[in-house]
Structure 1
Amino acid sequence: MSAAVNRDIRTAYLQLAFVVVFVLLGALIAAEKLVIKPIEMLADMAKRLGEGDLSARAARNRLPAEFVPLARAFNAMAAQLSQRERELIASNDRLTVMASIDMLSGLANRRGFQSRLDFEWMRAQQYGSDLALLMIDVDHFKLFNDTYGHLEGDSCLTRLGESLSGIAADTMGFAARYGGEEFCLLLPNTDVMRAAEIGEQVRAAVLRLCLPHITSSHMIVTVSIGVAATKPNESLRPGDLIEAADAALYAAKHRGRNNVVEHGVQAIETGAADMMMVASA
């Protein structure tokens, strides 16, 4: 009888151990599915978010009900961060644009012009096309400011900027205020003859504004324009085009102002810039 009782006790212990193992195994599986997996999923989403992936979202339909509020809060935070990033990018873009714009004339400033010149230079070099530049200077502008005051001087520059902007739009050009009373007009796919014609359009447009200037021999505001054009290549650099247009502008000033002077730039075998200057009609 004692042996039978002992056997029954051992059987009972084995059954109890089996039940305990089964329960523990079930609890482990349940914990894996209901607790560990959701935590790992949320941790993975948080890691992706921390690495900059603002599209990371927790799939609420794959989570136990107890984790849904946490997933909802996580997704809301991710959406807010994504919105903030878009706003920051937009603000940075606006600041970048503002940093390249001259607020007085509404045209690009010198920084914006230099960036565009570098771009158009590379593109013209790639396609073997012409690139022209007009340097435009207001004649006797210091006397204008001394006579009418700086507010009128600013108004004059604003009117000139508006006129130049319209011409740039008509000619597929890029207008900028180079500094002070000096403007420039970059003309892609334009040879020196066509650039000189556009220079005359600019000069005539300024005359049509009829801005009074009693200290000028013309009695109205006029501009002098230097024109340069070239086919960009490895022997030249963008600065050569600016220097050539500046030289032409200098010549226009010495020819009595209110005129347009062309300045051709060509690369020669030595790699230097061969300059040829011709006064326009």
Structure 2
Amino acid sequence: MLVFSLYLLSASLFAYVIYHQYTVLVGTLGSHFERAMIAAELTRDAESIAAEVYELLVGNDRSISAGNRRVDNLAQIYQATRKRLEPLSEADTQALDRWQTPFFSSLDRLNERLRAEQELQATQFQRVDMLFLLLQRVSTLEQGEALPGAERRFVGQALAGLGYAAAALSAERPGHIARLTRYCRQQMQEMMALPLTHPDFITLREQLAQELPDVFASRSPLLRHGRATLATARQTRVLAQKLTSATFGYHQRLKVSAGEALQQQKALMHRSLAGLLSASLVLVLITLGALFYIRRVIIQRINRLSRAMQAHWQGEGPPIPIDGDDEISRMGGTFEAFVRARQSAEQKLALANRELQQMNLSLHRLSELDELTQIANRRCFDRHFQAEWRRAQREKRSLALIMGDVDDFKRYNDEYGHQCGDECLHRVAQALAGRLHREGDMVARYGGEEFIVLLPGLSREQARQVAEQLLTTVRELNIPHRQSVHGRVTLSLGVAACVPRPDARFETLVGEADRALYRAKEQGRNRLSVRPHDDAAG
């Protein structure tokens, strides 16, 4: 009873001491933390000004006046926050004023350079519009009536000069601009020497001689001014970082001062609590230690091993506890050896199954995929076509075929080589496959440079529309073909469709599509031909 009473008395005494220390702590640290928070606000304001300057520099669509107003507002907020910190020590005042005045002066210089650069860019945009108008005039004159030889040469030289001028407007190096100026001057000299007779061409030549030199002359000042603006922006950015560092350093000093006071109070409180807790913890630790030892060494280890064994029997794989050197650890080691043996066997079986699946997939691809074009081969097409033919007979619906052939492909191989020919076939095949989006549609390599397209459920007119899309798709590939009258790789397509009768054979429809393809070849290639009959029953 006496011990318990002394314990209560001691606890009351320590509670009073802690309460007294708490009141002292609140009074001592209140002012420190308040000034530290204001210094943090000052640092945030400086970072906001720096971020606004950077956004003003990189923001293409933001007006300079709006950016200046935001910077001025942020500067006023910065000054108001700094006044809340007064009075400051002389060292802190010098540290903040050292970078504040140069930073705001640099802001004014940066705004002036940005405004001047925008004016130069506006002038460059006007020159771009002028070049576009001159290009339109050249194009208009070129598309007019048949031109004499001098006018035709003038068109090519004018387009070259305009191209050099347009390239100069996007050039970034003085050497590049000088080369473009030399090339354009050479074109201008050749243009001026041409014996033009058409008044419009003479007028256009005079405009080109007047405008193009101005384009090249205006690019270098803009580049120099841009570099100067970038240098000023970098200087402003450095000063902003210096100002932010100065305000952050002041905040850190206040934070350290508040932290030191807090640590002193905490140390005093810890010493007060240590005496009370020491006596209480001794008995508690002895009791808990005994309970922990019994539970961890015996009961908990057995429970862990039991749960692990049950989890493994249910298909899970938690680690098996084998720590220690007693009967429990040896039991866990024996069970772990059994589990490892079973897992090894399961892994070998899974690996064998994966290898078998990969081999089956490879065999399937080899049997149904054309290796060169990576689309279906003829064997795969024949199987799908026969299945769709039988389905169309049962359901009495239309079935369409498109037979295609690459025009003048032998000449293409002779001109460019077989390797380019293989690449051409691959690109054409992938382009045809990319145009088919319905389920059941198929494109396959039928042999050599021939392709065949299966379109279940489409009529002759619908198949013709699909064939027109395929022709356009291949034309848009723009694969050069110097031996073709069209200058690029093209297709000839034959279209056939029918509702097959029960006694009809599928070879009939293939023959109709092949004859349509032959007629397209006879009519000049780069076109499609449609069989005139919708019935392929015979």
TM-score range, shorter chain: 0.5 to 0.7
1:147 alignment partner, one of 405, 415, 434: 415
- Give the RMSD, CA atoms, in angstroms: 2.5
Question: Residue 266 of structure 1 aligns with which residue?
Answer: 535
Which of these residues, 183, 196, 200, is aligned with residue 464 of structure 2?
A: 196
1:118 Cα deviation after fit: 1.2
Aligned in 2, Cα 1:144/1:243: closer, same or farther, shift over 3 Å? same
Rounded to whole Å, the distance in 2 between the matches of 1:237 and 1:122 is 10
1:226 is matched with: 494
Aligned-partner Cα distance in 2 for 1:77–1:129:
55
SS of the residue corresponding to residue 185 of structure 1 reads strand
More helix by share: 2
CA deviations on 1:49-93 (whole Å, 9 max, x unpaired) are xxxxxxxxxxxxxxxxxxxxxxxx99x979966874674355224
Aligned identity (percent) is 41
Cα separation, 1, equivalents of 2:439 and 2:365: 23
Q: Give the CA deviation at 1:238.
A: 1.5
Instruction: Check whether the contact 1:227–1:248 (CA below 8 A) recurs between aligned residues.
Output: yes
The equivalent residue for 2:367 is 99
Alignment-derived partner of residue 174 in structure 1:
442
Report the CA distance between 1:200 and its aligned residue.
Answer: 0.7
Residues 1:111 and 2:379 aligned together: yes
User: How does 1:23-102 map onto structure 2 within 5 Å?
Assistant: 84=352, 87-102=355-370
Which residue pairs with 2:478 in the alignment?
210
**Residues in 2 aligned to 1:267 and 1:114: alpha-carbon distance in whole angstroms:** 17
Please list the CA deviations of residues 161-201 of structure 1 after superposition, one character each: whole Å capped at 9, or x if unmatched.
11101112268510111111111110011111100111111
Q: Corresponding residue for 2:396?
A: 128
**Contact 1:235 1:267 (C-alpha < 8 Å) held by counterparts:** no
Q: Max radius of gyration: which structure?
A: 2
CA distance in 2, matches of 1:189, 1:183: 20
Distance 1:191 1:104 in 2: 31
| Structure 2: distance between partners of 1:201 and 1:89 | 39
Aligned residues: 200
SS of structure 1 residue aligned to 2:452: strand
Give CA deviations for 1:203-232 in whole Å, capped at 9, x if unaligned: 111111111111111111111000011112
Structure 1 residues 90 and 121: alpha-carbon distance in aligned structure 2, compared to 1, 3 A threshold: farther
Query: Comparing both structures, which one devotes a greater share of its residues to strand?
Result: 1
Equivalent residue, structure 2, for 1:160: 428
Distance of aligned partners of 1:102 and 1:267 in 2 relative to their CA distance in 1, 3 Å threshold? closer
Distance 1:170 1:121, change over 3 A: closer
Cα distance between partner residues in 1 of 2:469 and 2:457: 18
TM-score under structure 1 length normalisation: 0.64
Distance 1:152 1:82, change over 3 A: closer
Report SS of the residue matched to 1:266: coil
Determine if contact 2:493/2:528 at 8 Å carries over to the other structure: yes
Over residues 252-280 of structure 1, what are the superposed CA-to-partner deviations in whole Å (9 max), with x where a residue is unaligned? Answer: 10111111111235256xxxx2xxxxxxx
C-alpha contact 1:228 1:244 (8 A) present in aligned 2: yes
Does the aligned pair in 1 maintain the 2:403–2:450 contact within 8 Å? yes
Q: Deviations over 1:76-124 (max 9, x none)?
A: 9799668746743552243122221012111101111111111111222
In the other structure, the counterpart of 1:185 is 453
Aligned CA distance change for structure 1 residues 208 and 170 (closer, same or farther; 3 Å): farther
Q: 1:129 to 1:90 in 2, by over 3 A?
A: farther
Q: Using the alignment, how far apart are the partners of 2:374 and 2:397 within structure 1?
A: 29
Q: Distance in 2 between matches of 1:118 and 1:134?
A: 15
Cα distance, 1:235 vs structure 2:
2.0
Q: Note if contact 2:508-2:536 (Cα within 8 Å) is conserved in structure 1.
A: no
Question: Which has the bigger relative contact order, CA under 8 A and spacing at least 6?
Answer: 1
User: When the two structures are superposed, what TM-score results if normalisation uses the length of structure 2?
Assistant: 0.35
Which runs of 5 or more structure 1 residues have no equivalent in the other structure? Answer: 1-72, 274-281
In structure 2, how many angstroms separate the alpha carbons of the residues matched to 1:118 and 1:89? 28
Aligned to 2:185: none
Please point out which of 382, 388, 406 is paired with 1:138.
406
SS of 2:487's equivalent? coil
Match of 2:505 in 1: 237
